[in-house]
A and B are shown apart, each in its own frame.
Chain A
């Protein structure tokens, strides 16, 4: 995932406060000592969209081609991980399809 908005889980019209709040919340959820890779991605995302100036600059000057994952994230973001239904698990154990 490379889109800073998706990494921080904020809308594209988020303001400075919203960006900071999202960053701090994510930091709390994934502390740097437990998930260093995730922290690096978070930090880079935060730096990219921290202020209005940064957000406008990101929009104007980021021309890296969007990857398939980025497009997926833009169209259907990943939701919260969930436990499967019992029926789904049983179907897999039965060897379906």
Chain B
């Protein structure tokens, strides 16, 4: 198809000959005003033929020439534009001042000689900005040693005089002669055309000694640099910018500026060429492009390094990147490389089961003949790979004594144990294993490991602490004391060791109190030896009082009353005595009553805060407040709510009472706080939760509305944490009132209730892996194997069908409860009870209720 061309405008021929001079002058003026400069020029020329002395016609023609010149320059017709400017200057014998655009065009065309002669002749008439811009251009030429310019400038002209100093400064800078450079720069006055050069050279001379100051100097002139020195300023700036800003800066610079900047930064020609290759387009090259570059330079980097760098580039796009090595001439991936890649990818996906499996597979490659020699690099590699899943997941590091041990933790422990064959010099591995054995109550094994490790690392504090825990757990208190002494020799300010040991001795003393009071006293004495702080000493006194009470109730009672009085006599003392009584196995409250101890309200702020701190310490240790003690304290606590607390103290008080399950007292504190801080969302939440105690079936609309207002206020205040907590409470209330669904219900039912669980189970497997799902549903190892066999035999889809069928049975029983491998259609069976361990995971105050009528929450993976 032919391109439609814009018709070229032509001057209207003969218009001038048919019009009167006045009409023609009007027409010329209109042409000028409307940007029709060619027509204006023609008309003015016609008029001047008739009346060449009319000054207004000359002015009009000059304006038309200037307009036409600008038009031509905008179109890139620079020489033609210059002709127009020259015509303008020839009108009426050079009486018109030079336009800045004319001068700039001379610059653009590199006509420095012409510019110089104009500058010398007329610069006084030019605007200051134009004069400075052109002077800086000429100055830059002088500094660059342009002989033609230098020769044409009179000797006395500042451009010439200061130019000599500028040239000298430039040469001295390049030669590294700072003193000479400074001397030369000092000769250049501030208002010189060379002033930017002075600033740039001063900044550059600081580049190696004080980069920040150098950058600050350049920043001061940024945006006001004269055009003659703009490129040098930019090059200097790029030479000094921090590494992180370099790429962005280089992208916008011309090649010459970039080259100079990079040279000053220490980039050689090879690096500059590679940069153009990699980052020339401005953006980060793709993984495949980077792979191509490193394989192109494999000789320089070495084959092994190229392949290792290359493998790292395959991780993110894997598996689509599987064929890239072959594509860039690197051949196929070896099975070892593939397995390493799979292990890296597994870490990216975050599935612990897969991570364990992949690293185990990779370790097999490393267990070459000779790799078993402990101390060698190859043996250390095997050990590191075997320890990697634990280092990555931290499962064993998080195992606590007495907590249940997951199958994954056992697999990790087996790998750690194997790693010690290849590298026995890793104290952390021993710590992990001792911790696991302690949790398993496999004390004999733990002792063996500790003894092995303590020979190698007798001064390792963490290991000694593990040994102390082991000694306490096995009742070897003497040994525990010995270890504690060693720890304190190494770490004299380790208060936790003292505390742990005091508590262990006291626990033993309590145990011995009935059968061997003499031994109990010895344990108490041992505890006193270690009890250095006030709290521990008070605890020892309490134990001593109870021991006395067992032998001589009258003396014991008096001691206990004395202790309660010493500890403030209020709630804190009552709590301490009550807890110790429970620890001694007494029926706490009757005993306390017999002692005449009555909890008294702590209305004084300090006493109340001290009690709350004691309660928090108890809860932080994972211990619960005995129910009867809580009940005994609650009346006094409610009465204490009148104490004057700050808002944060009142919130902390409510929070502690929530953790302790003291909802009545919490409600009292919340109500008092709401009187002081009306509508404060956090206290509205405390009030709501403490009122309903997790049983939301009969929550009134007024309460819900009030909580809704609190939610809006929390959001307005930007208190996201409280807003989130209120939301949770509202959802729980709605679920209880309108019936829950598997993913949260509401007044309109659960939108996901009718969904097929298949895609959800599939999504779970994709997200956390099959092993992860088994972990979540707590499937026994035997049944996991059966599921995996099923997957191997009939595929992933059949496995998912089987899992859905099990789910429909309202529980996750073993495979023996449904026929395999076909999906099941058996009637639902009685749901299985939750394992005890999982029940204990629930916090006592997380909304659980004893209400037998509470609608049951559908647990997808129960």
List A71-97 residues whose CB lies under 8 Å from chain B: 71-72, 74-86, 88-97
Nearest chain A CB to B170 CB, angstrom units: 6
**Quick one: CB contact mask for B301-339 with A, threshold 8 Å, 1 for yes?**
100010011011101100000000000000000000000
Chain A contact residues (Cβ within 8 angstroms of B): what range? Answer: 35 or more
A66 to B231, CA, bound (A): 33
Cβ of B274 within 8 Å of any chain A Cβ, yes or no, is yes
A94 to B139, CA, bound (A): 10
Cβ of B560 within 8 Å of any chain A Cβ, yes or no, is no
**When the two chains form their complex, are residues B260 and A88 in contact, meaning their CB atoms are under 8 A apart?**
yes
A52 to B814, CA, bound (A): 48
Nearest chain B CB to A65 CB, angstrom units: 5
Nearest chain A CB to B165 CB, angstrom units: 15
Cβ of B19 within 8 Å of any chain A Cβ, yes or no, is no
**When the two chains form their complex, are residues A68 and B312 in contact, meaning their CB atoms are under 8 A apart?**
no
Residues A63 and B263 in contact in the complex (CB < 8 Å), given A56-B384, A75-B274, A92-B232: no
A40 to B483, CA, bound (A): 37
A83 to B347, CA, bound (A): 47
Write out the residue numbers on chain A whose beta carbons fall within 8 Å of the beta carbon of B257.
Answer: 92
Determine chain B's interface SS by DSSP, over half rule: helix
**When the two chains form their complex, are residues B384 and A60 in contact, meaning their CB atoms are under 8 A apart?**
yes
Write out the residue numbers on chain B whose beta carbons fall within 8 Å of the beta carbon of A60.
Answer: 340, 381, 384-385, 388
Nearest chain B CB to A68 CB, angstrom units: 4
A94 to B380, CA, bound (A): 61
**When the two chains form their complex, are residues B264 and A92 in contact, meaning their CB atoms are under 8 A apart?**
no
A91 to B260, CA, bound (A): 10
**When the two chains form their complex, are residues B270 and A82 in contact, meaning their CB atoms are under 8 A apart?**
no
B290 touches which one: A56, A57, A66 (CB < 8 A)? Answer: A66
A72 touches which one: B170, B173, B274, B305 (CB < 8 A)? Answer: B274
Residues A52 and B377 in contact in the complex (CB < 8 Å), given A83-B264, A86-B170: yes
Cβ of A10 within 8 Å of any chain B Cβ, yes or no, is no
**Quick one: CB contact mask for B232-273 with A, threshold 8 Å, 1 for yes?**
100100010011000100000001110110011111101100
Cβ of B448 within 8 Å of any chain A Cβ, yes or no, is no
Write out the residue numbers on chain A whose beta carbons fall within 8 Å of the beta carbon of B279.
Answer: 68
A79 to B287, CA, bound (A): 26
Residues A75 and B174 in contact in the complex (CB < 8 Å), given A68-B284, A91-B144, A94-B144: no
Cβ of A1 within 8 Å of any chain B Cβ, yes or no, is yes
**When the two chains form their complex, are residues B301 and A74 in contact, meaning their CB atoms are under 8 A apart?**
yes
Cβ of B600 within 8 Å of any chain A Cβ, yes or no, is no
Cβ of B404 within 8 Å of any chain A Cβ, yes or no, is no
**When the two chains form their complex, are residues A63 and B312 in contact, meaning their CB atoms are under 8 A apart?**
yes
A68 to B144, CA, bound (A): 36
**When the two chains form their complex, are residues A93 and B229 in contact, meaning their CB atoms are under 8 A apart?**
yes
A67 to B289, CA, bound (A): 11
Cβ of B278 within 8 Å of any chain A Cβ, yes or no, is yes
Cβ of A15 within 8 Å of any chain B Cβ, yes or no, is no
A68 to B242, CA, bound (A): 17
A76 to B267, CA, bound (A): 8
**When the two chains form their complex, are residues B284 and A97 in contact, meaning their CB atoms are under 8 A apart?**
no
**When the two chains form their complex, are residues A76 and B263 in contact, meaning their CB atoms are under 8 A apart?**
no
Of B171, B174, B259, the most chain A CB neighbours within 10 A belong to B174
A96 to B279, CA, bound (A): 23
**When the two chains form their complex, are residues A56 and B309 in contact, meaning their CB atoms are under 8 A apart?**
no
Cβ of B751 within 8 Å of any chain A Cβ, yes or no, is no
Residues A81 and B231 in contact in the complex (CB < 8 Å), given A66-B309, A86-B170, A92-B256: no
**When the two chains form their complex, are residues A71 and B144 in contact, meaning their CB atoms are under 8 A apart?**
no
B174 touches which one: A62, A67, A81, A89 (CB < 8 A)? Answer: A89
**When the two chains form their complex, are residues A78 and B267 in contact, meaning their CB atoms are under 8 A apart?**
yes
Which stretch from B292-300, B601-609, B660-668 is at the chain A interface? B292-300
A→B interface (CB under 8 Å): 1, 12, 37, 52-53, 56-57, 59-69, 71-72, 74-86, 88-97
B→A interface (CB under 8 Å): 110, 140-141, 143-146, 170-171, 173-174, 176, 204, 207-208, 228-229, 231-232, 235, 239, 242-243, 247, 255-257, 259-260, 263-268, 270-271, 274-275, 278-279, 284-285, 287, 290, 293-294, 297, 300-301, 305, 308-309, 311-313, 315-316, 340, 344, 347, 377, 380-381, 384-385, 388
Ordered by A's residue number, 13 sampled pairs between the chains whose C-beta atoms are within 8 Å are: A56-B377, A57-B384, A60-B384, A61-B388, A75-B301, A80-B266, A82-B266, A84-B174, A84-B260, A84-B263, A89-B260, A91-B144, A92-B260
Known A37-B242, A81-B208, A91-B256; 16 more pairs at CB < 8 Å: A12-B305, A63-B311, A66-B294, A72-B275, A74-B301, A76-B270, A78-B266, A78-B267, A79-B267, A81-B207, A81-B265, A89-B174, A89-B232, A89-B260, A90-B144, A93-B229
User: Which 8 pairs between the two chains have the least Cβ-Cβ distance?
Assistant: A76-B271, A93-B144, A63-B344, A79-B266, A90-B144, A68-B278, A86-B174, A94-B144
